[in-house]
Structure 1
Amino acid sequence: MREVRNKWVFKKVKVDVFRVVRRVEELMRELNDDMSVAGEQEVCSEGGGRWLRPEVGWVKLNVDAGVKEGWGLGIGAVCRDSEGAMLWGMTEHRCATLEPSMAEAEAILVYMNKARRRGCSRIVVESDCKVLIDALQLKTKGRSDFYLLLDDIYSICNDFEIVL
């Protein structure tokens, strides 16, 4: 999917949305097949990284955000159960300008709210934004907009048994 995004961002070449959806469906089938064969806690992801299943009874919420000047930001999340099966996934485009760490924080806040509304209570949250995850784990406080978003995330964390 990265190649489709890069074609659009760097070459302004649009790809048929149905082709993208079909590719995502193929990737999901492959992932589910890999996970049923693996039978282990650790499963390899497409990018060569490692994805760890949450413990039984927990869900894992993987969030991401992307920012492009003049376009806005895109946020998305995938929620999976302890078997690695996708429970739900969502993406949104927002006409806003945020720093990348702020966009990631916004994504965590938005999708934790959605997870709560879907009845999730035991949740593991993953993001590729180390600055954000470190700040959340240390419960860092401050007065900038970034820290105000963190305060909102801390507040919603009270509704979950959570691991960041």
Structure 2
Amino acid sequence: MAEFMGWVVTEMELQVVADVQRILFSMWEARNKLIFEEKPLSMASILARATTLVCPPPPPSSFFLANGGQGQGPGKWVRPAVDIVKVNVDAAVGRDKMAGFGMVARDNAGEVLAAAAKFATLALSPTVAEALCLRWAMELSVHLGFRRVQFETDYLPLFQAWKKANGTSYLFSIIYDCRSLLSAIDYVDFSFVRRQGKFCADYLARHAFTFQDVVWIEEGPPGLSSFLCSDILASMPDST
């Protein structure tokens, strides 16, 4: 199965990849219902369930992702070390200057420890929005009890400002707040990833206007499933 899915992901069009993932997830649900609830499901019902696992619709035209540049980070989601929680963060800013924040925390197996979305009713620039999103994600991580954390952003200006570490602008005051939160965490790493490596946080940020202010523990909204599956498959070790 791993070999088959590796072939699907690398050789097939994105729509085919999504369709295969939906069908497999629906089959897995049916398997669980049979084993744990003794409810057999027909193939027709399995396929019907698969059709409900649609890709998330595009966000309203008033929402766009801040373009932070590609930089030199990895182009896919990479699993953290065994004892590390990886927290991907992203902000989406509307033309009305409203912002949506998204974060997802996963372990080395790719399992979701927490996911969250927040709609910020503030007038924000993309850079400030990304910084506030990071601070929000760090606060959540502290409250959730994560003690060894790797935060990851695709917004290069924020990553560069973090490395610079000092300045007099509002951006640096937010970064200072972020650093003050880290005293409650035993180990912290902050890294940059290209956009392809954080589609889960992207999805949550884009749809924050729908979710408003929600934290999911050990799960996420239904529309997140296909992105989680893609990340897990992309992060699998090369068998060769």
Distance in 2 (alpha carbons) for counterparts of 1:93 and 1:106:
12
Q: 1:153 aligns with which of 162, 178, 188?
A: 178
Q: Which residue in the other structure is 2:108 paired with? A: 82
Q: Does 1:95 find its partner at 2:129?
A: no
Distance in 2 (alpha carbons) for counterparts of 1:127 and 1:3:
23
Q: Which residue in the other structure is 1:60 paired with? A: 86
Distance in 1 (alpha carbons) for counterparts of 2:56 and 2:130:
18
Q: Partner amino acid for 1:146?
A: L
Aligned-pair CA distance for 1:158: 2.2
Check conservation: 2:79, 2:109, Cα contact below 8 A.
Answer: yes
Structure 1 consecutive aligned stretches of length 4 or more whose deviation exceeds 6 Å = none
Check conservation: 2:97, 2:124, Cα contact below 8 A.
Answer: no
Check conservation: 2:85, 2:108, Cα contact below 8 A.
Answer: yes
Distance in 2 (alpha carbons) for counterparts of 1:53 and 1:137:
23
**Structure 2 unaligned residues grouped into runs of 5+:** 1-54, 63-73, 191-240
Deviations 1:77-114 (A, max 9, x none): 00001111111111111111111111111111011111
Distance in 1 (alpha carbons) for counterparts of 2:78 and 2:97:
33
Distance in 1 (alpha carbons) for counterparts of 2:132 and 2:84:
22
Deviations 1:19-63 (A, max 9, x none): xxxxxxxxxxxxxxxxxxxxxxxxxxxxx9311111011100000
Q: Which residue in the other structure is 2:162 paired with? A: 136
Normalised by the length of structure 2, the TM-score is: 0.49
Distance in 2 (alpha carbons) for counterparts of 1:97 and 1:150:
18
Q: Does 1:4 find its partner at 2:74?
A: no
Distance in 1 (alpha carbons) for counterparts of 2:171 and 2:97:
21
Aligned-pair CA distance for 1:137: 2.8
Q: Partner amino acid for 1:111?
A: A
Q: Partner amino acid for 1:9?
A: S
Q: Partner amino acid for 1:94?
A: A
Count of equivalent residues: 124
**Structure 1 unaligned residues grouped into runs of 5+:** 11-47
Over the residues paired in the alignment, what is the CA RMSD in angstroms? 1.8
